[in-house]
Amino acid sequence: MNFALTEEQKMVKETAARLADEMLKPQAAQFDASHAHPAEACAALGELGFMGIAVPEQYGGAGLDYVSYVVGLSEISRGDASVGVIMSVNNSLYCYPVMTFGTEEQKRAFLTPVASGQKIGCFGLTEAGAGSDPGAMRTTAVLDGDEWVLNGEKKFITNGNVASYGVIAAVTDKAAGSKGISCFIVDFENTKGFSVGRVEEKMGICASGTSELVFEDARIPKANILGTPGSGLKQMLTTLDSGRIGIGSQALGIGRAVLEESLEYASTREQFGKPIATFQAIQWKLADMAAALDAAELLLLRAAWMEDQHMHFEKQAAMAKMFASDAAMAAAIEGVQILGGYGYCREYPMERHMRDAKITQIYEGTNEIMRLVIARNLLKGK
């Protein structure tokens, strides 16, 4: 069993770490406070090929593997979790379904500009009444001649306020229930009847826009459907499996940032005449943090390796996302505790890490749903 990264994967990790330390960390607090979209950082990711890591070079991507995706995304998220989730959604929730289910024409038109970082993509599944239950979706798409007419609203869409393209799920056959859902590629910049609705004010990942997408008799070409009508639910579930590796990697990066800052603070902060890192109570917190984050990384690398091998990885992706996000949140809570009063103040980044970590337990499948996915896989054939 070989746990070593290839030379190419090491290069991705080192490049991402350098960008995180030199560009992202110094600006993260400013982006968090202003809620400004980190356009310059996203452009830098695009130049490095990080906005389409696993997309073939012929479609504007870097042509790398999903293990590279995990090590790169976790480093970027260590620098700034908001930039990390922008990168994650662009790769996992937009590029993945277009690359996997799109036609050659769709890939050239709608994948290349996003994978190359020239444009940003998003994924429209969640609605006010349809989150964990996609079968309750109300957005509809009706074929009218050579066009699909979309009506409905999507909610909590990461990148929605800055995206040029989106993969949007809609009901095309109400009578078929969840088997009547289809996915479409929508060109937001050239679709009448589309608009960006409310942009949410959030607890964390504040530099990452989260918005409503509104479709009012929005007409898109008939050719913009992904695959065949009715295949949307299967496409979405497969896409989310890949996306959960991305969110787990984001969580791992947040946890790594927490551990780094906890170690630095504990080594310099003195009480009773000695650094608090010499106290067993603090050492145990650091040890638990480090062990949980290493375990999370191994789960993520296993899931990514299985995806690279084209194996069924639903259970492994759910395990990795669930464990990594729980580990990040636990680390952040202890990180704040280690810093004490300073951990609760915005003078230090620790409180931002705690705010950023929480969402990783919620989006792209709550951790309660992750446990159901894992159990469902365990009980198959029983």
Q: What are phi and psi of 256, to 5 degrees?
A: -65, -40
Q: What are phi and psi of 155, to 5 degrees?
A: -130, 155
Active site residues: 364
Distances (CA, A) of 152 to 174, 214, 356, 372: 14, 6, 29, 29
Helix (H) or strand (E) holding 271: strand 270-271
Q: Determine the 3-state secondary structure of 309 from DSSP.
A: coil
CB 344 within 8 A of CB 351: yes
- Amino acid identity of residue 48, one-letter, is L
- Sequence-separated (6 or more) residues with CB below 8 Å from residue 158: 85, 86, 89, 93, 122, 123, 208, 209, 210, 363
Radius of gyration of the chain (CA): 21
For the record, the structure tokens of 72 come out as: 């790169």
pLDDT by residue for the chain (382 residues), tens only, comes to: 788 999 999 999 999 999 999 999 999 999 999 999 999 999 999 999 999 999 999 999 999 999 999 999 999 999 999 999 999 999 999 999 999 999 999 999 999 999 999 999 999 999 998 877 887 899 999 999 999 999 999 999 999 999 999 999 999 999 888 899 999 999 999 999 999 999 999 999 999 999 999 999 999 999 999 999 999 999 999 999 999 999 999 999 999 999 999 999 999 999 999 999 999 999 999 999 999 999 999 999 999 999 999 999 999 999 999 999 999 999 999 999 999 999 999 999 999 999 999 999 999 999 999 999 999 999 997 7
What is the pLDDT at residue 135? 77
Cα gap 186→150, rounded to integer Å? 10
pTM higher than the cut 0.75 = yes
CB 123 within 8 A of CB 251: no
Question: N- to C-terminal Cα distance for the chain?
Answer: 30
Under the phi-then-psi rule, with left for phi > 0, alpha for psi from -120 to 50, and beta for the rest, what region is 49? left
Q: pLDDT tens, 353-378?
A: 999 999 999 999 999 999 999 999 99
The DSSP annotation for 222-264 comes to GGGEESSTT-HHHHHHHHHHHHHHHHHHHHHHHHHHHHHHHHH
Q: What are phi and psi of 293, to 5 degrees?
A: -70, -40
For the record, the structure tokens of 251 come out as: 């969580």
What is the pLDDT at residue 136? 85
What is the pLDDT at residue 1? 75
Q: pLDDT tens, 322-360?
A: 999 999 999 999 999 999 999 999 999 999 999 999 999
What is the pLDDT at residue 297? 98
What is the pLDDT at residue 178? 83
- Amino acid identity of residue 283, one-letter, is Q
Cα gap 342→264, rounded to integer Å? 13
Compute the C-alpha angle 169/132/90, nearest 5°. 50
Task: List the beta bridge partners of residue 225.
Answer: 184
CB 235 within 8 A of CB 101: yes
What is the pLDDT at residue 355? 98
Calculate what percentage of the chain has a pLDDT beyond 70. 100
CATH numbers and ranges of domains, the chain: 7-120 (1.10.540.10), 122-232 (2.40.110.10), 234-378 (1.20.140.10)
